[in-house]
Amino acid sequence: MKITVRYFAHVRESLGTGREDHELPEQIRTLGAMRVWLTTQSERHAQVLDAARSLRMACNQTVGDAQTELQAGCEVAFFPPVTGG
């Protein structure tokens, strides 16, 4: 399945890109599984997207969690937690 991954704030700066297009392996069906898969793509991805890091995830502009199902053509985003004042 083809997806677009968008990175924001320090995630974008650390990876040096704001967007990547990926063809996911057949077994990758959730945001959590995709995040783990992305950490295998490079050492930089492993550091930035490590599960121990506090990052928010969204699918098609809706905040999700590790169990959020992916669909072909979806847009996934990774961004830091946002605080308000």
Confirm if 48 and 11 have CB atoms less than 8 A apart: yes
Q: What is the C-alpha to C-alpha distance for residues 50 and 61, in angstroms, rounded to an integer?
A: 22
Confirm if 3 and 76 have CB atoms less than 8 A apart: yes
CATH 3.10.20.30 for the 2-79 domain, yes or no:
yes
Share of the chain above pLDDT 70, in %: 96
What is the number of other CB atoms lying within 10 angstroms of the CB of residue 67?
10
Which helix (H) or strand (E) segment holds residue 62: the answer is: strand 62-64
Q: Where are the domains of the chain?
A: 2-79
DSSP state letter for 21: E
Share of the chain above pLDDT 90, in %: 89
pTM of the shown model:
0.91
- What average pLDDT does range 60-72 have in this prediction? 96
